[in-house]
């Protein structure tokens, strides 16, 4: 199963015995499910989403059972913002506790994600084996910490999450799979495709090269703080200002009114993709007003947001050494890529390539579900591999499809530089990021580095890997801490220890260490090995707080409830 865990909405897909990925619709028959949950007493229900939520104008802020609550209680907990707060924060929520509380208990995004996933799976994947391998997608720009957090959320929800895959890679894989399946023969010619993925919370773009069953990501860029929500918020700011100017008072200081305004502006934004003018209703306890917005005004207000996606796309092309005319296919992905301004911009940049003919478009996956479909194909590739054992594909999958699943090779690039934390030789106490593996490297990638022990008779050394481009280690994300032990007693200071650091195909770090033997030791060991393997163990992060544990238990007790 593949899961596209989106900021605003999520999608699940499974690989069918007909050799194609299929989206699993939710209880309402929708192919995307709002990433929002309702928690009431011990029940958990999905949605409604950001755009469907209508709040009473004079909500009294009470729980459904009459208990007094704060402003937030009784309305759905939106997952929008779930992905963003992970960035650089090590998984803690930064935007205040209002949205991230369940029945008054502050919970981490990971826990809420787990609750949401439990609801999603209960509703959409009914009848699927619970322990089947699951691939979850993440924005390319995610560092290890949020990638792990997404996996952990899945595992806390009882899913057997085996891998994460970048959303853009996933969409490209869905295209490759579908495209080749159209005429039954892999396309032998080398082709370049651009994936432009504008979701609700994140923007990602990638250039991939394909030939037959090979899919190689050449370069990828992303901005995890840019998405369709920013277009909605910009529109909401403008509408609020127009309302204040017209009516002379500001009702948007209350959280509930802000959410209401955002909900209305979200609906207006969707309408402006189809029509040129629409009216945003503002209902306050004092008066009801309609604020008119036009597509031209909306596009003017959000010009700089679109510009950011354009700059990043152009930067990506430049980095990859690809000219716009070298691209064969433009794959728009994500709900916000449906905006007319985005389509126009892509046409400006790539001409007719951005407006494929009907035949070519037949090979394109649905922009709304491409990510989930690609993840389902990838999960099937894992299940088709010879080592899959019990989790292998069902016998109904034809041998031709199995062969193709095994034949596909997928190559990604690293999203961030990987460095080791070192002491600044000039400023005592200052820790620097010494980059070992640069970003954008073809995966897998490895490097070997020799360190010296700092003191005589050292018992071991500690190695802290960081992820990021900033020179100060503290400004980067921590990738992992490793303890290297097993050094023989009596080693002099500055004895060389060689460390192998690698990133595997899916961006996961691996570390192993060896001690360089002295010529005397080599003579004794008959010169067979000049490296003595050392014990390398990752230091596990400390367990969560008591509050977190309490919230976990509480969320685990919530029963997914049918809608
Ligand atoms: N027709 C449309 N016109 C304009 N915007 C749209 C349209 N349809 C969807 N959107 C916007 O697309 C976004 C949702 O897209 P999508 O479901 O792909 O995001 P997501 O996967 O939840 O987010 P992310 O991938 O960033 O985590 C929302 O901001 C929504 O307003
Ligand atoms: Mg998405």
Residues of the chain with CATH 3.90.640.10: 228-303
As assigned by CATH, the class of the 228-303 domain is: alpha beta
Residues of the chain with CATH 3.30.420.40: 2-166+546-560, 169-224+314-382
Are the beta carbons of 55 and 35 closer than 8 angstroms?
no
**107 alpha carbon – ligand 1 mean position (Å):** 25
Ligand number, closest to the Cα atom of 371: 2
Q: How far is it, in rounded angstroms, from Cα 404 to Cα 150? A: 29
**9 alpha carbon – ligand 2 mean position (Å):** 7
pLDDT at site 40: 65
For a mutational test of ligand 1's pocket, the pick from 142, 200, 275, i.e. the residue with the most ligand atoms closer than 8 A to its C-beta, is 200
The CB-side HSE value for 467 (13 A sphere, CA atoms) comes to 26
Are the beta carbons of 192 and 140 closer than 8 angstroms?
no
Pick the residue whose CA is nearest to atom 18 on ligand 1. Answer: 334
**Which helix or strand (DSSP H or E) is residue 405 part of?**
helix 399-407
CATH fold label, 418-516: Substrate Binding Domain Of DNAk; Chain A, domain 1 (2.60.34)
**514 alpha carbon – ligand 2 mean position (Å):** 42
Atom of ligand 1 nearest to the CA of 368: 18
Nearest 10 degrees: Cα torsion 398, 400, 406, 412 = -110
| Phi/psi at 519 (5° precision) | -55, -35
- Single out the residue of 309, 316, 311 nearest to residue 332, CA to CA: 309
Helices vs. strands in the chain: H and E counts, helices first: 13, 27
Distance of alpha carbon 142 from the chain centroid: 6
Please state the pTM of the whole predicted model: 0.87
CATH placement of domain 169-224+314-382: 3.30.420.40
pLDDT at site 60: 34
Q: How far is it, in rounded angstroms, from Cα 453 to Cα 474? A: 23
pLDDT at site 495: 87
Are the beta carbons of 269 and 232 closer than 8 angstroms?
yes
pLDDT at site 543: 55
pLDDT at site 297: 98
**304 alpha carbon – ligand 1 mean position (Å):** 18
pLDDT at site 41: 63
Q: How far is it, in rounded angstroms, from Cα 158 to Cα 161? A: 9
pLDDT at site 536: 82
How many other C-beta atoms lie within 10 A of the C-beta of residue 223? 17
Task: Name the E strands within 199-254.
Answer: 203-211, 214-223
pLDDT at site 69: 38
pLDDT at site 88: 29
pLDDT at site 59: 33
For a mutational test of ligand 1's pocket, the pick from 335, 341, 367, 375, i.e. the residue with the most ligand atoms closer than 8 A to its C-beta, is 335
pLDDT at site 43: 72
Calculate the alpha carbon distances from 499 to 431, 494, 516 in Å: 19, 14, 10
Ligand number, closest to the Cα atom of 335: 1
Instruction: Please report the sign of the dihedral spanned by the C-alpha atoms of residue 79, residue 82, residue 83, residue 84.
Output: positive
What residue ranges of the chain have pLDDT lower than 70? 39-42, 48-109, 181-185, 522-531, 540-545, 547-549, 551-552, 555
- Single out the residue of 213, 193, 441 nearest to residue 331, CA to CA: 193
Residues of the chain with CATH 2.60.34.10: 418-516
Block residue for tokens 């707060």: 85
* 2-166+546-560 belongs to CATH 3.10.180.10: no
Give yes or no for a cis peptide into 378 (omega within 30° of 0). no
């Amino acid at each position: 199963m593949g899961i596209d865990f989106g900021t605003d909405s999520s999608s699940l897909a499974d690989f069918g015995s007909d050799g194609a990925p299929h989206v699993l619709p939710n209880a309402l028959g929708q192919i995307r499910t709002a990433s929002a949950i309702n928690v009431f007493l011990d029940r958990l229900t999905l949605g409604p989403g950001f755009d469907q939520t209508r709040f009473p104008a004079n909500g009294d802020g009470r729980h459904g059972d009459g208990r007094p609550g704060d402003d937030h209680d009784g309305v759905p907990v939106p997952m929008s913002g779930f992905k963003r707060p992970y960035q650089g924060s090590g998984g803690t929520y930064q935007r205040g506790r209002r949205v991230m509380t369940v029945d008054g208990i502050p919970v981490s995004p990971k826990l809420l994600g787990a609750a949401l996933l439990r609801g999603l799976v209960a509703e959409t994947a009914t009848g699927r084996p619970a322990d089947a391998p699951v691939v979850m997608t993440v924005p390319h720009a995610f560092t290890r910490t949020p990638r792990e957090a997404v996996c952990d959320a899945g595992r806390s929800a009882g899913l057997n999450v085996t891998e994460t895959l970048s959303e853009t890679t996933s969409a490209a894989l869905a295209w490759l799979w579908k495209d080749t399946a159209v005429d039954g023969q892999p396309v032998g010619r080398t082709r370049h495709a651009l994936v432009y993925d504008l979701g609700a919370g994140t923007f990602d773009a990638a250039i991939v090269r394909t030939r037959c069953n090979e899919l190689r990501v050449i370069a990828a860029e992303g901005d995890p703080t840019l998405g369709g929500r920013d277009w909605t918020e910009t529109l909401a700011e403008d509408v609020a200002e127009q309302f204040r100017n017209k009516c002379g008072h500001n009702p948007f200081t209350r959280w509930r009114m802000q959410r209401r305004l955002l909900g209305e502006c979200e609906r207006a934004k969707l309408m402006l993709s189809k029509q040129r003018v629409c009216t945003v209703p503002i209902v306050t306890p004092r008066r009801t007003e309609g604020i008119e917005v036009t597509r031209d005004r909306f596009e003017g207000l959000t010009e700089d947001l679109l510009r950011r996606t354009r700059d990043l796309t152009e930067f990506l092309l430049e980095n990859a050494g690809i000219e716009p005319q070298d691209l064969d296919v433009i794959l728009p992905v994500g709900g916000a890529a449906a905006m007319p301004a985005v389509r126009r911009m892509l046409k400006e940049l790539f001409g007719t390539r951005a407006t494929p003919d009907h035949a070519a478009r037949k090979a394109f996956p649905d922009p709304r579900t491409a990510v989930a479909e690609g993840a389902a194909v990838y999960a099937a590739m894992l299940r088709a591999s010879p080592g899959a054992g019990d989790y292998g594909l069902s016998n109904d999958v034809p041998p031709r499809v199995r062969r193709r699943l095994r034949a596909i090779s997928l190559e990604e690039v690293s999203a961030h530089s990987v460095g080791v934390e070192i002491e600044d030789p000039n400023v005592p106490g200052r820790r620097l990021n010494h980059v070992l593996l640069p970003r954008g490297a073809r995966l897998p990638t490895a490097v070997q580095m020799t360190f010296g022990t700092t003191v005589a008779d050292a018992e071991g050394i500690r190695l802290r890997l960081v992820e990021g481009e900033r020179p100060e280690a503290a400004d980067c994300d921590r990738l992992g801490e490793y303890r290297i032990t097993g050094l023989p007693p009596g080693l002099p200071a500055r004895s060389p220890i060689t460390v192998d650091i690698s990133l595997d195909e899916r961006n996961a770090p691996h570390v192993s260490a060896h001690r360089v033997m002295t010529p005397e030791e080599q003579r004794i060991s008959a010169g067979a090995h000049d490296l003595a393997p050392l014990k390398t163990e990752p230091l596990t992060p400390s367990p969560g707080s008591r509050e977190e544990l309490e919230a976990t238990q509480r969320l685990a007790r919530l029963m997914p409830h049918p809608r």
